[in-house]
A and B are shown apart, each in its own frame.
Chain A
Amino acid sequence: MTAIADTHAVVTGRSGGAALRTTGPARHEQLVSWAFLAPFLIAFVLFLVWPIVHGVYLSFTDQSLTGQGGGFVGFANYAEALGDPVMWQSLWNTVWFTVLSTVPLVVLALLMAALVDRGLPGQWLWRLSFFMPYLLASTVISQIWVWIFNPQIGAANSILEAVGLEPIAWLQNPDTNMLSIVIATVWWTVGFNFLLYLAAMQNIPSQQYEAASLDGAGGWRQFWSITLPQLGPATVLILILQILASLKLFDQAYQMLGGVASDTTRSIVQYIYEAGFVSYRFGFSAAISYVFFALIVIVGVAQAVVTRRKKEL
């Protein structure tokens, strides 16, 4: 295409009208489009699409970090993963963490948002208190909570003793270490859900509250009859985001236990990491990755089914 045709295309563009449009402008728009898209698409293919494809390939090989191996082993890695008790245990730990953390992370967030939304003074302070931990790196929250859960000098046991309970070996005890991680995680991330709920509540038209209060509805009544029903879509969104986020457990569990693998806290992501970067078994690690991916996809499909059913009703 010549420079003159180019200029013509720019000037006429889409506003030139359908009648005037020849292949020139359309082709020009194609070129312009790909120019806008190219940087993203290159990164998308290089760092997302290709790794997904290559990961599938790796999962069928016995590739190691050192470049040794690499031979095709068929489904051997998957067979090994599915027959591996450690894989199942870490999968279970991940699901158990998700169950334990999701409920308080949604309910507490709703409670916090509902209270803050009442128009009480000091909004910025509440927002800062609840959201600030979300800004902290996992390294930081891990250190703070390891210190709090320290059996000898930590605040958690000081509180237990103050109310007359026996001290607990929080992170050292296999019965309580996952619970400790859940507590730290709720503290760390509830602020994000809190802000999502707050935004959803503040999108509810104020006229509805005005009308209700003219009809004599009090605060509770307004919350139950106006706020809560309209939070349905937000709750579905928060629930899904939370489940997906919780399934990705790694940072805090790994760091709060000082990088030591514990049977009761090893998450599936931690097992992926251990298989790949501690045992150097890239192929096997890739296979576990896709077992984990399958779990995520199942959650996604379940979510799609549930939301569609809701819409039909």
Chain B
Amino acid sequence: MSTATLSPTEAVTVARPRRARRAHLPGGKPFAPLRVVAFLILAVLAVGWLLPFLWAVATGFKTETDAASGDPSWIGASGPTLDAFSAILSQGNVYIWAWNSLLTSVAITVITVAISAGAAYAFSRLDFRGRRWLFVTIIASIVVPPQVLIIPLFYEMLAFNMVDTYWGLILPQVVAPAMVFILKKFFDAVPIELEDAARVDGANRFRIFWSIALPLSRPILASVAIFVFIGAWNNFLWPFLVINDTTLMTLPVGLQTVISAYGVQYAQVMAQAVLAALPLIIIFLIFQKQIVKGVATSGFGGQ
């Protein structure tokens, strides 16, 4: 599939077609009727997609009375207030959950990328017995839905005494066969001459991997890492199952448990939704290019 088999150079160019594309748009007619229609449809869609979130943000700034009044205006009758946000932030657990989310997501990302890159390099560059069938086995395992494994995995965590631990949260999430596939494709496209030159200079495999293959793959590594991070940050089912200790919960699971406690406190619920979303929105704004690229190269990364 073309999207999954980009060469390094192609992968780098995917994300910046803007200027090139605009230059060859049919004749410089900026107000062609078609463009106006396209722009209008796009604007309507974009508003439709932004509104639910903006609505949640606006509700977070209302008083509970205004939020529950059913008044559809953007600003409540009592005016905007930070009450809901400060109520959420004065709840100690939110900070613990955010920290747990950050810690475990970073750990999952680092371990996943490290072990996948190692395996991908071996499949791409090294010769060993059983290479073919092993690779086929790993690729075939992409179809296994993680949801199928929750019972035996939970059982395994019980046996390892890892229920209600960070390790129980992290380790089952680091196996990403699709990432091995994507990285292998990428390593395949790195010119072998670069490695041969290093080998003549006396570098061993680990050295070549570390000083040549990895640095050349930085763009794809970044994309893969961002996707693993988003997936880990937002994962609900596994953390929900393996963690019961309130102080070990991640943000999505922790927030879920307090919703019932809030009852009908809509402003607080929305404020908390906004706070939970904020880190990833900031990450998206910073790493937009890599994320777009990441989707393009890692079609397998779907949730």
The number of A-B residue pairs with CB atoms under 8 Å apart is 333
CB distance from A55 to the nearest CB of B (A): 4
Contact with B along A187-231 (1 / 0, CB 8 A): 101011001101110110010011001000111101000000000
Q: Assess the B17–A297 pair: CB atoms within 8 A.
A: no
Query: Is B280 touching A135 in the complex (CB atoms < 8 A)?
Result: yes
* Nearest opposing residue in chain A for B171, CB measure: A47
Interchain CA distance A233-B78 in the complex, whole Å: 54
| Nearest chain A CB to B89 CB, angstrom units | 16
Is the beta-carbon distance between B154 and A202 smaller than 8 angstroms? no
Which residue of chain B has the shortest Cβ distance to A26 in the bound complex? B127
With A158-B72, A289-B148, A300-B143 as known contacts, state yes or no: A15 contacts B24, CB within 8 Å: no
B25, closest chain A residue (CB): A119
Contact with A along B180-211 (1 / 0, CB 8 A): 10000000000000001001101011100100
Does A196 lie within 8 Å of B295, measured CB to CB?
A: yes
**A47 and B153 contacting across the interface, CB-CB below 8 Å:** yes
Q: Which of A33, A48, A58 contacts B127 (CB 8 A)?
A: A33
Chain B residues within 8 Å of chain A by Cβ, number = 112
Set of chain A residues within 8 Å of B21, measured between Cβ atoms? 117, 119, 202, 206
Partner-binding segment picked from A83-91, A142-150, A168-176: A142-150
Among B114, B145, B272: residue with most chain A CB under 10 A? B145
B132 part of interface (Cβ distance < 8 Å) = no
A260 to chain B, nearest CB (A): 11
Indicate if A136 sits at the interface (CB-CB under 8 A): yes
Least distance between A170 CB and chain B CB atoms (Å): 14
Q: Smallest CB–CB gap between A15 and chain B, Å?
A: 5
B68, A153: Cβ atoms under 8 Å?
A: yes
Instruction: Give the distance in Å from the alpha carbon of A273 to the alpha carbon of B149 in the complex.
Output: 11
In the complex, whether B56 has a CB less than 8 A from a CB of chain A is: yes
| B40: nearest chain-A partner, CB-CB | A115
Contact B148 A115 (CB under 8 A): no
CA distance A152 to B233 in the complex (A): 33
Q: Check B41 for interface membership: any CB of A closer than 8 A.
A: yes
**A139-B256 contact, Cβ under 8 Å, with A123-B18, A203-B14:** yes
A43 at interface, CB cutoff 8 A: yes
Given A136-B277, A198-B292, A147:B148 Cβ within 8 A = no
Residues of A within 8 A of B53 (CB): 132-133, 136, 144
Task: Give A56-83 as 1s and 0s: 1 = Cβ < 8 Å from B's Cβ atoms.
Answer: 0010000100000000000000000000
Question: Are B145 and A248 in contact, with the CB atoms below 8 A?
Answer: yes
Report how far A181 CA is from B171 CA in the complex, Å. 31
Contact B236 A115 (CB under 8 A): no
Q: Does chain B have a CB within 8 A of A237? A: yes
Give the distance in Å from the alpha carbon of A112 to the alpha carbon of B145 in the complex: 29
Within 8 Å by CB of A39, from B118, B144, B234, lies B118
User: In the complex, A62→B152 CA distance in Å?
Assistant: 13
Q: Are B24 and A209 in contact (CB under 8 A)?
A: yes
Bound CA–CA A277/B295 (angstroms): 34
Stretch among B43-51, B79-87, B214-222 lining the A interface = B43-51
Inter-chain contacts of B237 with A (CB < 8 A): 250-251, 269, 273
Q: Which residues of A are found within 8 Å of B147, using beta-carbon distances?
A: 248, 250, 269, 272, 289, 292
B296 touches A195 (CB 8 A): yes
Asked if B300 lies at the interface with its beta carbon under 8 angstroms from chain A, I say yes
B3 and A218 form a contact (CB under 8 A)? no
* CB within 8 Å for A147 and B269 given contacts A125-B46, A203-B2: yes
B151 in contact with A285 (CB, 8 Å): yes
Instruction: Check: A261 CB closer than 8 A to any chain B CB.
Output: no
Q: In whole Å, how far is B20's beta carbon from the nearest beta carbon of chain A?
A: 6
B106 contacts chain A at the CB level, 8 A cutoff: no
Alpha-carbon distance A33/B126, docked complex (angstroms): 6
Which A positions have Cβ atoms within 8 angstroms of B? Answer: 10-11, 13-15, 26, 29-30, 32-37, 39-41, 43-44, 46-52, 54-55, 58, 63, 111-112, 115-120, 123-140, 143-145, 147-148, 152-153, 155, 158, 187, 189, 191-192, 195-196, 198-200, 202-203, 206, 209-210, 213, 217-220, 222, 233-234, 236-238, 241-242, 244-245, 247-248, 250-251, 255, 258, 269, 272-273, 276-277, 282, 285-286, 289-290, 292-293, 296-297, 300
18 contacts between A and B (CB under 8 A): A26-B127, A36-B205, A36-B209, A37-B134, A48-B141, A120-B42, A137-B234, A139-B252, A143-B56, A148-B55, A158-B70, A195-B295, A237-B1, A238-B299, A248-B147, A272-B151, A297-B143, A300-B143
What 5 A-B pairs have minimum CB-CB distances, sorted nearest first?
A199-B296, A153-B70, A33-B128, A40-B119, A36-B122
